[in-house]
Amino acid sequence: MNTAQKIIAKFGGQVNVAELIGKGQSTVAYWAKTGVIPIKWRANLLQIASEKGISLSSTDFDTTIQIINDKNELETQKASHFGALTLGNEEIPCYVLESGERIFSLKGVVVALTGVEGGQLAEYIKVKSIRSYLPEDLIPAENGQIPALLNFDTGAASFAKTAIGVPVERFMDICIAYSTALQESDKKDGMVKLTDRQKEIAERANSFLRACAKTGIIALVDEATGYQYDRPIDALQFKLNLFLAEELRKWEKTFPDQLWVEFGRLTNWKGSLQQRPKYWGKLVNELVYSYLDKDVYEWLNKNVPTPTKSGISYHRWLTEQYGLKKLLEHIWQLVGMASACTTMEELRRKMAEKYGRIPIQLSLFVPPH
């Protein structure tokens, strides 16, 4: 009997556990099959056990998540999806396990937070000024082990490689702990004191929190690993969350001058590129936003003022982490295509052909001569 099965048995079986947590029995059956209860459900089970007088503690989960040197002592989960997530200036390897757990590489997390390879996470979070803000399963034990960490099979095609992972929620908890400690240390009468090195890590943590705040860490990992295409979701809402920010971003130069040079050449514009004709705004809507994504373009048209009336460009509503990146990729693709055209009509036709738009020829009836 594996660890998950032992815990399920304490509650009287899979049916009882499913009813207690409000999920289908298939969810609990999967836990029993893999031997792993996802971290997000453990606090619920501990609370339910306490209310019902069932003997259960966080240590009962440890055999499935503690760090053990001999991989044969631990039945590891396998990653079904993997990728690399860019946060700020850092790139962190990320995975989705067969159980649905989203995790970061422990090594990647340490490098991202500290800027140093080869460090031990426990050394950076065991200090008193930080640990008081951490969840219980992130506090290192006396032997240095951190309960929240888990071993997993990276799913590499050429060989089976076991690595250590940090659940993405716990990575955010670490960032929040450092951010909170930094805020407390800035208070004149505060009891928290951080070293210069700890403040540097806290600033890095803040940058990750800012990068993830708008889109959500789960959505970002799913996008980076390709898991988004395999899980049941509201596709439209998920797409809009990826592309669109909750708040208007500050203006910054986004459209390269090369685009205006090509527009000027194809429309025979003789004036200054800094004083562009207003109808180019329609060209931007047609050739940039409508091809960037149909649903996003429709949402922008319905929910925000048009740039020509408000003076606020659509690109300021796009998320930095995803929407803006996709916009720039599309713009440079458009610039390259425009450079090979001799007229605006030719560019319109090539864009339509590339994106699979169907030409329609309308008949116009006029009175006879």
Determine how many CB atoms are found less than 10 A away from the CB of residue 252: 9
Three-state DSSP class for 73?
A: helix
Angstrom distances, CA of residue 110 to CA of 90, 106, 204, 365:
11, 6, 11, 71
**What are the pLDDT digits (tens) for 271-302?**
888 888 888 988 998 899 888 888 888 877 77
Domain ranges of the chain: 3-65, 71-232, 241-354
**Rounded to whole angstroms, how far apart are CA atoms 339 and 119?**
49
Among 201, 203, 77, residue whose Cα is nearest residue 151? 77
Among 195, 225, 216, residue whose Cα is nearest residue 130? 195
Give the pTM: 0.45
Dihedral sign computed on CA atoms, order 69, 74, 80, 81: negative
**What residues contact residue 26 under an 8 Å CB cut-off, 6+ apart?**
none
Among 17, 13, 6, 11, residue whose Cα is nearest residue 59? 6
Q: What is the mean pLDDT of residues 351-369?
A: 74
For residue 181, pLDDT over 70 is answered with yes
Q: Provide the phi-psi class of 216: left if phi over 0, else alpha when psi is between -120 and 50, else beta.
A: left
**What are the pLDDT digits (tens) for 122-137?**
888 887 888 888 888 8
DSSP 358: P
> How large a percentage of the chain has pLDDT more than 90?
11
In CATH terms, the fold of domain 3-65 is 434 Repressor (Amino-terminal Domain) (1.10.260)
For residue 265, pLDDT over 50 is answered with yes
Model pLDDT, residue 63: 41
Average pLDDT over the chain, rounded to whole? Answer: 79
For residue 67, pLDDT over 70 is answered with no
For residue 338, pLDDT over 90 is answered with yes
